[in-house]
């Protein structure tokens, strides 16, 4: 059992937690947490499973993950702004299906 394996398992657990959170959370901010946690778990997986090149870490996955992190932040920032606006418009920061009138104009 080396540390890579440990982190892979951690990624699995984190992903599960993220998925669970995404499903059971009502509040959008928590959904965003969940998505971010899922993202982090994927990033961990990518880096943890990368094959070292002659003892040195493969820079490609790390570069990819770095980009991924920035993109995740961007999306999260936008998601937050969207959430705030939703809350301003409807008083709630949730996507509960009951709130939506069918075929709303």
Q: How far is the CB of 22 from other proteins (least distance, A)?
A: 6
Q: How far is the CB of 67 from other proteins (least distance, A)?
A: 5
Instruction: Note the Cα 37 to chain centre separation in Å.
Output: 4
Q: How far is the CB of 32 from other proteins (least distance, A)?
A: 8
Number of Cβ within 10 Å of residue 47's Cβ equals: 17
52: its two tokens: 């070292």
Residues 23 to 52: which contact other proteins by CB under 8 A? 23-51
76: its two tokens: 């999260």
Residues 61 to 90: which contact other proteins by CB under 8 A? 61-90
């Amino acid at each position: 059992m080396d540390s890579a394996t440990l982190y892979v398992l951690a990624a699995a657990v984190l992903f599960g937690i993220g998925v669970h959170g995404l499903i059971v959370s009502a509040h959008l901010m928590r959904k965003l947490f969940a998505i971010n946690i899922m993202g982090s778990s994927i990033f961990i997986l990518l880096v943890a499973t990368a094959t070292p090149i002659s003892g040195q870490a493969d820079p490609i996955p790390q570069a990819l993950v770095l980009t991924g992190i920035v993109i995740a932040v961007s999306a999260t920032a936008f998601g937050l702004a969207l959430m705030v606006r939703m809350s301003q418009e409807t008083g709630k920061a949730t996507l509960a299906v009951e709130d939506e009138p069918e075929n709303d104009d």
